[in-house]
Amino acid sequence: MARNASLSGFPELLPQERIVEQHVIDSLRTTFELHGFGSIETRAVETIEQLLRKGEIDKEVYAVSRLQAEEGAGDASLALHFDLTVPFSRYVVENAGYLTFPFKRYQIQKAWRGERPQEGRAREFTQADFDVVGDGALPFLHDVEIVLLAVDALSALPIPEFKIRVNNRKLAEGFYRGLGLEDTAGVLRNIDKLEKIGAEAVARLLREELAASELQAQAALELAQIRSADLSFVDQVSALAERHNVQNELFDEGLAELSSVLRAAITRAPGTVIADLSIARGLDYYTGTVIETVLVGHEALGSICSGGRYDALARKGNRVFPGVGLSIGVSRLVARMLSQNLATASRAVPTVVYVALNADQDWAAAQDVAAVLRSRGIATEVAVSAEKFGKQIKFADRRGIPFVWFLGEDGNSQVKDIRSGEQLAADPHSWQPAEAELRAQVTRNSPAS
């Protein structure tokens, strides 16, 4: 980032940085739509009751109230949403009669969370979510579809290599029950801390908080240490289950589902998707496939794309709307791209052409030229004073504008590429820059050797 924000946790971008962020957003939008996902937007505020009904996050929520609210107005019960999943579940319930299921949605919006700011974690940030929601049931193949869409969406971005780490909560919960550990949510919450606090600390928590035996704790940790980019994990998991005499239908179902995800990924994105049995996702509403994604070489940044299957997050009476989806941390990604110079915008402005003035009275004629260029999709600015051509060219160069247009008598204009110095005769009705010049280009930078 170019400078520190004056209000901690609420970053602002310079124009060239904003171009990088917009490129990421535009690329994601294009990929989502190519896969048939439609765009929605939900309101920024929800009721506090709605936000807090899943998970213990009350300290992270920003409450909303009016400075001069009337007594009893009820505004104190509102808060800014801290993610897009909870608002989306409400949206589905309230609009179920107008939606066609399975409903495929993507949503790129701001969210707010009052946690301690650090790189990759801001208090105001942008997320890009994509989900498939069913009415009553949702075929498992949508889990596979979501993973493959994540591969396509992230592969289109100017970012380093990434790994999508996949597990299945059914597999894990069934294994724990087979061991005799009934508080599966508690086990999962502790396993989710594995990378942060280490195996020994997790084992201690399992013994102290959940009354797990040494054998049960070690078996749970053994499962969490299995990972592979191929189907070899199936034999490893099966052997571990046999050794501990784990027999559970939920375990068998989860193992089959995870195998299906890996089988599809091996065919379409070999080496990118990894079965990682340590992935737990701490939120209780996940019921099947769970996913986290890391940038290779930037693992300390944390997950850049995470989520999974949720079968009961959205309900309307006896009607249940199961879903599966992921959230890409746009702000987290962009912050790392900028701080590590992983990607660069070719210029800080959209302008392609700067029309210079021979004299102040030429401004109207310059606007005519600009209007023709703009009608053809060429972003154009017009000088406001007839300074020396050298100063006008220097101004365009400082702005990052590649071409300067010089008006000529009887319409005989010329255009100069101020990077190469090449100057040619030009007609605004037919002159065309290279395709790559029409928009600021964002390119991935090679890592320093």
**pLDDT, tens digit (0-9, with 9 covering 90-100), for 309-330:** 999 878 888 999 999 999 999 9
Q: How confident is the model at residue 49 (pLDDT cuts 50, 70, 90)?
A: confident
Annotated binding residue 106: no
**pLDDT given for residue 5 in this prediction:** 65
Note whether 321 and 92 are within 8 A (CB): yes
Cis before 102 (ω within 30): yes
Annotated binding residue 91: no
The answer, yes or no, to whether residue 55 has pLDDT greater than 60, is no
Domain ranges of the chain: 353-443
Give the mean pLDDT of 373-402. 96
Residue among 26, 19, 11, 2 nearest 349 (CA): 19
Q: What is the per-residue pLDDT across 158-216, written as a single tens digit (0 to 9) for each? A: 999 999 999 999 999 999 999 999 898 889 888 888 888 998 999 999 999 999 999 99
**pLDDT given for residue 194 in this prediction:** 87
Annotated binding residue 171: no
As a whole number of angstroms, the distance between CA 250 and CA 180 comes to 14
Sheet of strand 63-64, all strands in order from the earlier edge strand to the far edge: 45-47, 78-80, 63-64
Give the mean pLDDT of 25-48. 97
Annotated binding residue 131: yes
Q: What is the per-residue pLDDT across 344-379, written as a single tens digit (0 to 9) for each? A: 999 999 999 999 999 999 999 999 999 999 999 999
* 153, 158, 170, 345, 383 from 445: Cα distances, Å: 19, 8, 40, 10, 34
Annotated binding residue 192: no
Q: What is the per-residue pLDDT across 402-435, written as a single tens digit (0 to 9) for each? A: 999 999 877 789 999 999 999 999 999 999 999 9
Residue 165 identity:
R
3-state class (DSSP) for residue 75: helix
As a whole number of angstroms, the distance between CA 237 and CA 58 comes to 37
**Which pair of tokens denotes residue 346?**
């070719």
Strand partners for 79? 46, 63
Annotated binding residue 360: no
* 170, 171, 173, 240 from 188: Cα distances, Å: 11, 11, 8, 18
**pLDDT given for residue 51 in this prediction:** 85
Note whether 146 and 166 are within 8 A (CB): no
As a whole number of angstroms, the distance between CA 395 and CA 383 comes to 10
Q: What is the 3-state secondary structure (H, E, C) of 120-181?
A: CECCEEEEEEEEEECCCCCCCHHHHHHHHHHHHHHHCCCCCCEEEEEEEHHHHHHHHHHHCC
| Dihedral angle over CA of 164, 170, 175, 180, nearest 10 | 140
Pairing of strands 353-355, 403-406: parallel
Q: What is the per-residue pLDDT across 229-259, written as a single tens digit (0 to 9) for each? A: 999 999 999 999 999 999 999 999 999 999 9
**pLDDT given for residue 449 in this prediction:** 40
The answer, yes or no, to whether residue 143 has pLDDT greater than 50, is yes
Annotated binding residue 218: no
Count of residues for the chain?
449
The answer, yes or no, to whether residue 2 has pLDDT greater than 60, is no
Contacts of residues 72-79 at CB distance under 8 Å and 24 or more positions apart, as own/partner, are 77/47, 77/48, 77/49, 78/45, 78/46, 78/47, 78/48, 79/45, 79/46, 79/47, 79/48, 79/51
Report the 10 Å Cβ neighbour count for 316.
13
Higher-scoring residue by pLDDT: 139, 448 = 139
Note whether 341 and 445 are within 8 A (CB): yes
The answer, yes or no, to whether residue 56 has pLDDT greater than 90, is no
Query: Burial level of 18, CB count in 10 A (0-12/13-18/19+)?
Result: middle
Give the mean pLDDT of 122-142. 96
**pLDDT given for residue 447 in this prediction:** 67
Higher-scoring residue by pLDDT: 49, 154 = 154
**pLDDT given for residue 74 in this prediction:** 55
Which class does domain 353-443 fall in? alpha beta
Annotated binding residue 85: yes
Report DSSP state, residue 99. P
Report DSSP state, residue 211. -
Mean pLDDT of the chain: 92
Annotated binding residue 83: yes
The whole model's pTM is what? 0.91
